[in-house]
Amino acid sequence: MGINDEKIALRREIKKRLKDISQLEKKKKSSLICGELFNLLNSLKLSPNFTLGVYAPLKEEVHIGLEPLKGFVQRWAFPDIDQEMMIFRQCHFEDLKESEDFGVRLLTPPKEAPLVNPEILLIPGLAFNDKGQRLGRGKGFYDRFLENYQGATIGVCFSEQIEESIPVDDHDVLVDYVVSESGNLRN
């Protein structure tokens, strides 16, 4: 089996695991993950007005509770797509607009929101391991963005998404930290 086939099989397995977690359990786990994220962000040497790149979660992804981080984070940035490349725009969660890309309903920042390069980036994925390897959804947007990104990267996931081994290609980019409800796997 080739790497692409391994990735497809692992994506299928992880999606099945995520469907088996109730929404109530996802909400509880997401709250614990936010606490772990706060602890990690608090431990990093950050400029006072740093910009945190976050994401508007899909139904099965970790829901980052922005409320607990509001006093700590002054500026937020959300991903958008421009000419098949991921970019980040500064705005607040309540400014996001619903759109549909790839057959999926997404919340995206308004086109008039300023472009920014966040100092810290929270990254969703389907699977992570303690080496910082990540299995995304297969479109490569985060990997292409991360090729030249200089800030800190934090993979965010439920413990059910932690794998010992993840199939990777040469273009797959590692994350600096991986945070789940069980704590920080990598630092």
Total structural domains within the chain: 1
Cβ–Cβ < 8 Å for 124, 57: yes
Domain of 30, CATH number, reads: 3.40.50.10420
* Domain span holding position 74: 3-184
Considering the entire predicted model, what is its pTM? 0.92
Write down the pLDDT at residue 119.
95
Cβ–Cβ < 8 Å for 23, 47: no
Alpha helices by DSSP H, the chain: 3-19, 23-43, 66-69, 141-146
Triad 28, 33, 34: Cα angle to 5°:
100
Cβ–Cβ < 8 Å for 107, 72: no
Write down the pLDDT at residue 166.
94
Which residues, at least 6 apart from 139, have a Cβ–Cβ distance to it below 8 Å?
102
Low-confidence ranges of the chain (pLDDT < 70): 66-68, 101-104, 186-187
